[in-house]
Amino acid sequence: MKRVVITGIGTINPLGKNVPEYFHNLDLGVSGANLISRFDASRFKTQFACEIPDFDPEGFPEVYDRKEARRTDPFTQYAMIAAAEAVKDSQLDLSKTDLRRIGVVVGSGVGGIHTFTDEMRSFFENEEYPRFSPFLVPKFITNIASGHIALKYGFRGPNFGVSSACATSAHAILTAASQIQLGRADIMVSGGTEAPISIPGIGGFNAAHALSTNNAEYRTASRPFDATRDGFVMGEGAAILLVEEYEHALRRGAHIYCEIAGFGMTCDAWHITAPREDGESAGDAMELALREAKLNPSDVDYINAHGTSTPLGDLAELRAIQRVFGDAAYRVNISSTKSMTGHMMGAAGAVEALACIHAIQDGVIPPTINFQHEDPQIDYRLNLTLNERQERKVRVAISNNFGFGGQNACLAFRAL
């Protein structure tokens, strides 16, 4: 099987409108949470989220003009902005590259929920004369972000979307890597994007009792591994990676961030929204990723945990880590960057892959912020990187992402 590496990265998220800003604020332990500004959330149990502050697509003229922005939903806008940074970062010369060998697979959990909400509100307010935008469907379907990226750059290889709730962009990245391993492409532009902070987004997850309702302490409400955690904080944004065949990257002299050494996928087959309490299937995904990468648990230096700040989810994941890693679990750094970005849903796996790349490239373990109270069910001999970043040489990092429906994905990254 062909080897797969990462040669370009880009993001826009609550901590930064580009990769350097994101990494800087990760290191500082900045909370991206604030009161919701996109709509009046005063009637909801949850009135805060991790929004991208002061977002305006026209602030990215290299990507969007006013006319183009009106024809795309925010989830596509985020993907396009992150993709532009990743392609530029890769220093790929498109005039000397076979565009038929470059594909795109970008995932989203809910797609254009803002567009769909606006159109339906307009319909119910004007039932006598129902009018719908001709751009309704191409604005809200989940695969359209991949299509727009391909259209902008002329990428003519495999192109599709992936949707598996909170495991979406991890599945997108491993699917992209598979296309390269099988020889179907030389380069894949991959990752995830999400713009879920909306009336149905907040309302639906409130109804499912999944979101934190700690409005009084919204800045610190995302508190993975803390005894007082009461649900996740919704985030938004995108992260895109340029995934490339190793020999192809060497031939063009690309900067290689790291190798995608292995990945694992499983399903809980347990409950639609709740994880297996023993974390067995999540652990199986980690074992599969390590086995494919030919790594032992003791080789892993950093685990970017799914760590959503939910009472059941955090416990199940830590139990899975302890089962898989044994004694090595006490020597590895673990952290949840969702404590800062919030839960970016379908974009979570990709933005957390960037956190792993940062750890490998720069020797910095981002912290799990907002920790105050010990949970008697958690073993704090584990190094959960609480409240402050830690410096450490990282050769191997893994990233966990688990989604509604029981989907589990684990990506293993290795320094070269």
- The percentage of the chain sitting over the pLDDT mark of 90, rounded to a whole number, equals 92
Position 258 in a domain: no
Q: Tell me: do 141 and 187 sit in the same domain.
A: yes
DSSP string, 9-52: EEEEBTTBSSHHHHHHHHHHT----EE--SS--TTSS--EEBPP
Q: Is the separation of the CB atoms in 239 and 353 below 8 Å? A: yes
Give the residue among 18, 404, 16 at the shortest CA–CA distance from 204. Answer: 404
Residue 211 has what pLDDT? 98
Residue 317 has pLDDT above 90, yes or no: yes
Residue 276 has what pLDDT? 87
Q: Report the pLDDT averaged over residues 274-281.
A: 89
Q: Report the pLDDT averaged over residues 75-86.
A: 98
Residue type, position 251, single letter: R
Residue 275 has what pLDDT? 86
Position 308 in a domain: yes
Q: Tell me: do 137 and 282 sit in the same domain.
A: no
CA distances from 152 to 161, 192, 216, 257 (A): 17, 17, 44, 25
pLDDT in tens, 109-152: 999 999 999 999 888 887 677 788 899 999 999 999 999 999 99
- The whole-angstrom separation of Cα 193 and Cα 197 is 13
Residue 47 has pLDDT above 90, yes or no: yes
Residue 129 has what pLDDT? 75
pLDDT in tens, 342-395: 999 999 999 999 999 999 999 999 999 999 999 999 999 999 999 999 999 999
Q: Is the separation of the CB atoms in 406 and 267 below 8 Å? A: yes
Confidence of residue 1 (pLDDT cuts 50, 70, 90): confident
Give the residue among 293, 191, 189, 186 at the shortest CA–CA distance from 249. Answer: 186
The tokens of 381 are what? 């001999």
Cβ atoms within 10 Å, residue 327? 9
Mean pLDDT, the chain, integer: 96
Residue 286 has pLDDT above 80, yes or no: yes
- The whole-angstrom separation of Cα 366 and Cα 26 is 6
Q: Report the pLDDT averaged over residues 320-333.
A: 98
Q: Tell me: do 174 and 77 sit in the same domain.
A: yes
Task: Tell me the three state secondary structure of residue 176.
Answer: helix
Q: Tell me: do 283 and 201 sit in the same domain.
A: no
Position 245 in a domain: yes
Position 104 in a domain: yes
Q: Tell me: do 161 and 242 sit in the same domain.
A: yes
Cβ atoms within 10 Å, residue 216? 6
Parent domain of 209: 4-251
- The whole-angstrom separation of Cα 347 and Cα 238 is 5
Position 321 in a domain: yes
The burial of 177, by beta-carbon neighbours within 10 Å (0-12 exposed, 13-18 middle, 19 or more buried), is given as buried
Residue 62 has what pLDDT? 87
Position 257 in a domain: no
Residue 130 has what pLDDT? 78
Residues annotated as part of the active site: 166, 306, 343
Confidence of residue 263 (pLDDT cuts 50, 70, 90): very high
Q: Tell me: do 231 and 271 sit in the same domain.
A: no
Residue 302 has pLDDT above 90, yes or no: yes
- The whole-angstrom separation of Cα 176 and Cα 330 is 32
- The whole-angstrom separation of Cα 27 and Cα 212 is 24
Residue 233 has what pLDDT? 98
Q: Tell me: do 246 and 350 sit in the same domain.
A: no
pLDDT in tens, 178-224: 999 999 999 999 999 999 999 999 999 999 999 999 999 999 999 99
Between 45-59, 60-74, 306-320, the lowest mean confidence (pLDDT) is in 60-74
Domain end among 251, 283, 313: 251
- The whole-angstrom separation of Cα 88 and Cα 209 is 41
Q: Report the pLDDT averaged over residues 66-89.
A: 94
Phi, psi of 232 (to 5 degrees): -85, 165
Q: Is the separation of the CB atoms in 314 and 134 below 8 Å? A: no
Q: Strands, E, within 31-108: which ranges? A: 34-35, 48-49, 102-107
Q: Tell me: do 108 and 146 sit in the same domain.
A: yes
pLDDT in tens, 90-115: 999 999 999 999 999 999 999 999 99
Position 279 in a domain: yes
**Strand 102-107, strand 159-160: pairing:** parallel
Residue 177 has pLDDT above 90, yes or no: yes
Q: Report the CATH number at residue 329.
A: 3.40.47.10
Residue 277 has pLDDT above 90, yes or no: no
Position 10 in a domain: yes
Residue 74 has what pLDDT? 96
Q: Tell me: do 49 and 173 sit in the same domain.
A: yes
Phi, psi of 405 (to 5 degrees): 100, -5
Q: Tell me: do 244 and 125 sit in the same domain.
A: yes
What is the radius of gyration, based on Cα positions, of the chain? 20
DSSP string, 289-323: HHHHTT--GGG--EEE----S-HHHHHHHHHHHHH
Q: Report the pLDDT averaged over residues 61-73.
A: 87
Higher pLDDT, 66 or 302: 302
Domain end among 206, 231, 251: 251
Residue 274 has what pLDDT? 85
Q: Tell me: do 303 and 225 sit in the same domain.
A: no
Domain end among 186, 221, 251: 251
Confidence of residue 69 (pLDDT cuts 50, 70, 90): confident
Residue 290 has pLDDT above 90, yes or no: yes
Q: Tell me: do 226 and 339 sit in the same domain.
A: no
Q: How many domains does the chain contain in total?
A: 2
The residue count for the chain: 416
